[in-house]
Structure 1
């Protein structure tokens, strides 16, 4: 019996962080039961995934050369019956890079390759991805971002968003040479469901018993609120003129300000789509469900999870681009405190540059 390689290719913002963290924390126990999670010296597969998809990614491409081939070697050397590899960047791989992965892990490695793709309804994905954009130097408003997503051509993968979230495109690209029973679609349950639901669905696909992975994960990609996202958008516009090195931006803005501070503030107001956009979202969901049914791929979960839940008629929509000025100011103070504390704890050059940057930006306002 050929061993199996399960390649979880995304999509971003579909619980991938939680799944990967739980696999990582239980990797020793899983290996005792014949399931190998070959992360090597890193906590995840970001570096091999970036190497495979061959994209610039903020100047990081040159730092990951050879990481994919090193991962393939670890997989081929190991004798476990089941291999699990997971990273959301893989969803965006071009066809030629998909062929390389298929050859390296399937035919070339003498294994039975399976593709796993987690997907959630488009209304939640759009809001989550926009907030993520604010943590990566972007300045686009939510209204403009939503407009771009609605007008981009899914079939041609005109934008990275659709290249990773266009369900028919991703699964057609990755599953082109596989029988449908080896292409697995895991649906993310609607809000309110426990993370365990998604975990069990994923485990059912891979063949993991619950007792093999007893350690839960408390790592989730927390969402920003209206005020927090607006603060980052305005900060990005100011920082652009300062030509801050990207590695410094990733540390001070993405990590210290956004992930460690703003994403943990109490009372964050949720970012949601306007009611007028749900007709479009329904059409996207219909196309995804129809494709999955016709393609006869293996579905773990319920395809209705891909259909957006419309807001109640008596619920007033709150524009993500127009938060209260006081809320943005409060978020800015929290961010400033976080930067000051970080600067006081560190003697790295990045800390002093961040302090100088704050002074220059504040000076322009006075």
Structure 2
């Protein structure tokens, strides 16, 4: 039976990819210090989150993933030290399923600790819209903002309403074992997040962060708009899960990324209600007795909007240029693969659809730009 079990449940876009990358890159070194990462990798923890959430999420994972949650618990039960399970998609679990998961965790560890990392809404809102677009959604930024303002049941709030997530995942857990890590504003200490997690788990993480192998980098405003229009084109034929993964892992992460992305911001017209909603969250959290690492007030954005263009102001010509640049990176990527002597797989319908979707969109936009 484990001594302590740390369950990191989110929030998405709060440094979770970075943390998981560091943890898994240093898994053996962490185990030497007594901290176990059960399972075979971050996907194992993702599959476990799907099983815990239940519903249609279970249909999206491979058959081997159906046993992931039980396998993680068995490993934790057999470990005498501390253990860590981490995935941001535990966060939206319904009340009853989160409670059932916590009771199972209590059966394999003397102490269960819940960890939530969080950032202010001014950073989270653009990041969530971008992430949805990477996964194949074609909703405009304005429509997304309108949805989350009017619908408190929107999935955005299932993962970004910090008091709600902590309420669900803190059921029956002493509040001092519910840990909220509030990231500092931009420009704060670069190692803040990693340092706080090391303090919490009692790990000497010196030098470990340098071994991070993955990050979830942001795209620029024009690139996200290009991806959004591409997703809309591909949705004409339906969007299977495999195509969504191709858009995120290949198109977004490799061929659309630029060195100096234009920041996506919360527009001035929406800023007051974002600040008000953040203040409501802090008021709900105050006095709950949770262990707060960082400044709770850091969840409230500054009083002035961050300057930046509206997503609706991106022009067809800008999208066309971004699509051409993406196609050029795609060609260079393929040529590099050949030069490295890698055997090229047969042309897949998925890659073909993405390439032809980009080309068709670029041709149409060039034509429209020429007429303007």
Common fold by TM > 0.5: yes
Corresponding residue of 1:355:
352
Shift of 1:218: 5.4
Corresponding residue of 2:151:
152
> What is the CA RMSD across the aligned residues, in angstroms?
2.6
Cα distance between partner residues in 2 of 1:357 and 1:7: 37
Shift of 1:46: 1.3
Corresponding residue of 1:270:
263
Corresponding residue of 2:135:
136
After TM superposition, the structure 1 = structure 2 runs for residues 1-366 of structure 1, keeping only pairs within 5 Å, are 3-40=3-40, 45-57=45-57, 59-61=59-61, 63=63, 64-79=65-80, 81-106=81-106, 108-153=107-152, 158-211=153-206, 213=208, 215-217=210-212, 219-251=214-246, 253-263=247-257, 265-311=258-304, 316-340=307-331, 345=337, 347-348=344-345, 351-355=348-352, 358-359=355-356, 362=359, 365=364
Cα distance between partner residues in 1 of 2:88 and 2:253: 18
Shift of 1:44: 5.8
Shift of 1:360: 6.9
Cα distance between partner residues in 2 of 1:262 and 1:193: 28
Corresponding residue of 2:340:
none
Match of 1:92, SS state, is coil
Cα distance between partner residues in 2 of 1:213 and 1:151: 43
Match of 1:260, SS state, is helix
Structure 2, unmatched stretches of 5+, are: 338-342, 368-372
Structure 1 residues 196, 362: closer, same or farther in 2, change over 3 A?
closer
- Residue by residue over 1:292-340, the C-alpha shift from the partner in whole angstroms, topping out at 9 and shown as x without a partner, is 222111100111211112446xx75410232133332222013223444
Structure 1, unmatched stretches of 5+, are: none
Structure 1 residues 129, 70: closer, same or farther in 2, change over 3 A?
same
Shift of 1:348: 3.7
Match of 2:191, SS state, is helix
Shift of 1:358: 3.8
Cα distance between partner residues in 2 of 1:181 and 1:353: 48
Cα distance between partner residues in 1 of 2:67 and 2:7: 19
Matched residues, number: 356
Match of 1:273, SS state, is coil
Shift of 1:126: 0.4
CA contact (8 A) 1:202 1:300 kept: no
